[in-house]
Structure 1
Amino acid sequence: MASVKQVQITFDCAKPERVARFWCEVLGYVVPPPPAGFATWDDYTRTLPPEKQDASFVCSDPAGEGPRLYFQRVPEGKVAKNRVHLDVRVGTGLVGEERLAVLQAECARLVALGAVRDQVLLADEENESCINMRDIEGNEFCLD
């Protein structure tokens, strides 16, 4: 049986760089350096044919531990609930009011970046609290 070495998460979106930079802020990710021979990504982009300009963008975990995120421009807008979403794990190991306070503080930070808070799901007998959110293009994610 083959073993998986790496996973890349791909986002379909209208404005790849904008969405990528949002997720860099959310996750503490970075934009990798531009290709060799180019001082900036803008310099590189200008060398591409018009239909390829601003068509994709990438960000990655500076520690090399998390998956690479790839953002690709698509012509259609988001029309339905995501079948897959990210859980941003900011409350790991916390419970009760302490967990909820950490989740709410992170929610406020992300709303300031352009995210939208959808719903706070309070702890019950099976699950701890989490907050359902949407990124700047409407993709669902959870603060967990």
Structure 2
Amino acid sequence: MSVIRKFQVTFDCAEPERVARFWCEVLGYVVPSPPEGFATWDEFERSQSSGDQGSWFACVDPSGVGPRLYFQRVPEGKVAKNRVHLDVRVGTGLVGEERLAALEAECARLVALGAVRVRLLRADGVNESCIVMQDIEGNEFCLD
């Protein structure tokens, strides 16, 4: 019998809260409640040492189904292509022009949030079209 495990996806970034809030908007995720004993995240942050303040942030699927996204501050910037990326599934079940229209509409919404469109990969007979994008710190993801 297989065991289903929960997992989180961790992003290295310069500004954890800013990137987390971007992904909340992309995915419909929410910021979880602050740790027990704190009324707000600001109160929690003030309780941390100056070196730890703003060092991480997280967001969660409000339905509890999707993975938790965790964002941790790192000193170095992104220098190469991601080894792992998210596919944001906005065109599932759609093909051809209908799929392209859905992808383009979502692309426009995300560009308004600060994402960058990299390129359109058109359907090739095996794979359907998708749009390669970057989040607000340059991490690649696909609208699929």
TM value normalised by structure 2 = 0.97
2:40 counterpart residue number: 40
Return structure 1 stretches of 4+ with deviation > 3 angstroms. Answer: none
Gaps of 5+ in 1: none
Alignment partners' CA distance in 1, 2:90 and 2:112: 17
Partner of 1:16: 16
> What is the CA distance between 1:69 and its match in structure 2?
0.3
Deviation at 1:129, TM superposition (A): 0.5
Matches within 5 A, 1:1-144: 3-144=3-144
CA apart distance, 1:37: 2.5
Which structure 2 residue ranges, 5 or more long, are not aligned? none
Matched residue pairs, number?
144
Identity across the alignment (%): 75
Deviations 1:39-90 (A, max 9, x none): 2101110000001000000100000000000000000000000000000000
TM-score w.r.t. the length of structure 1 is 0.97
CA RMSD of aligned residues (A): 1.0
